[in-house]
């Protein structure tokens, strides 16, 4: 099974369950910047208990391993759980949307795009960049920092800089943001 087929199945399960979602992480970053190899899909979901139960059943029916208890715990704790296609090696991290200002705004700003031939709900360019800055801060990840630099290099003038700067300040990401801007080779992103 290809990544496109896996993505299509995951989106169908969520849509059939009535769960709004937003693609984020490496695959969203690849949409806006440079693709890189990944074995997983990261999706933020906004599910109630009944819809989540339908999704768990849908993933199970599709042949994926999914732990119902972990899914319900993720719903309660605003954490994450996985659905895994063990035969193909693909996995999806399903992240319960947090109840904070940035997460609400990010989710409201999602847009529809065609990725790998699949229509998906996708985090905006700015929100992918901000989320990558957050992950960079949390995990001191060089991979996340490279993704941010590539997003900046590719975004050019279409990046809504006032929006990014507002959330960088609100989320205390100034150090990570300044580092990313310094890494952009010769481009003025200020």
For the chain, the average pLDDT equals 90
- Residues 86 and 8 occupy one common structural domain: yes
Query: What pLDDT, on the 0 to 100 scale, is given for residue 185?
Result: 63
Residues 170-179: tens digit of each pLDDT: 999 999 999 8
Q: Is pLDDT of 186 > 60?
A: no
pTM of the entire predicted model: 0.87
Domain match, 48 and 141 both = no
Smallest Cα–Cα separation from 27: which of 6, 47, 12? 6
Same domain, 80 and 137: no
Q: Do 15 and 66 share a domain, yes or no?
A: yes
Count: domains in the chain: 2
pLDDT, tens digit, for every residue of 6-36? 999 999 999 999 999 999 988 998 899 877 6
Query: How far is 7 from 27, CA to CA, in rounded Å?
Result: 10
Which element (helix H / strand E) includes 133? helix 125-139
Q: Does residue 163 form part of some domain? A: yes
Residues pairing with 106 in the sheet: none
Note the maximum CA span of the chain: 51
Residues 149 and 177 in one domain: yes
Q: Same domain for 72 and 138? A: no
Residues 29 and 90 in one domain: yes
Tens digit of each residue's pLDDT (9 = 90 or more) over 78-99: 999 999 998 888 999 999 999 9
**Which pair of tokens denotes residue 33?**
């910047």
The whole domain housing 22 covers 3-123
Same domain, 113 and 70: yes
Please enumerate in sequence order all residues whose Cβ is within 8 A of that of 182, keeping only pairs 6 or more positions apart, or say none. Answer: none
Query: What local confidence, expressed as pLDDT, does residue 188 receive?
Result: 47
Domain CATH number, residue 77: 3.30.460.40
pLDDT confidence of residue 189: 52
């Amino acid at each position: 099974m290809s990544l496109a087929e896996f993505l299509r199945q995951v989106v169908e399960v969520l849509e059939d369950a009535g769960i709004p979602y937003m693609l984020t992480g490496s695959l969203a970053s690849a949409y806006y910047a440079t693709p890189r190899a990944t074995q997983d899909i990261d999706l933020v979901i906004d599910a109630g208990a009944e819809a989540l139960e339908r999704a768990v059943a849908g993933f199970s029916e599709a042949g994926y391993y999914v732990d119902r208890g972990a899914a319900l715990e993720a719903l309660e704790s605003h954490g994450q759980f996985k659905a895994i296609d063990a035969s193909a090696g693909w996995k999806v991290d399903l992240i319960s949307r947090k109840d904070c200002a940035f997460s609400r705004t990010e989710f409201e700003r999602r847009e529809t795009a065609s990725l790998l031939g699949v229509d998906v709900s996708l985090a905006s360019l700015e929100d992918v960049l901000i989320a990558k800055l957050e992950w960079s801060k949390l995990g001191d990840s060089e991979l996340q920092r490279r993704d941010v630099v590539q997003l900046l290099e590719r975004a050019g003038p279409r990046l809504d800089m006032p929006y990014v700067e507002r959330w960088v300040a609100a989320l205390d990401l100034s150090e990570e943001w300044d580092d990313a801007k310094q890494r952009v080779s010769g481009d003025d992103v200020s």
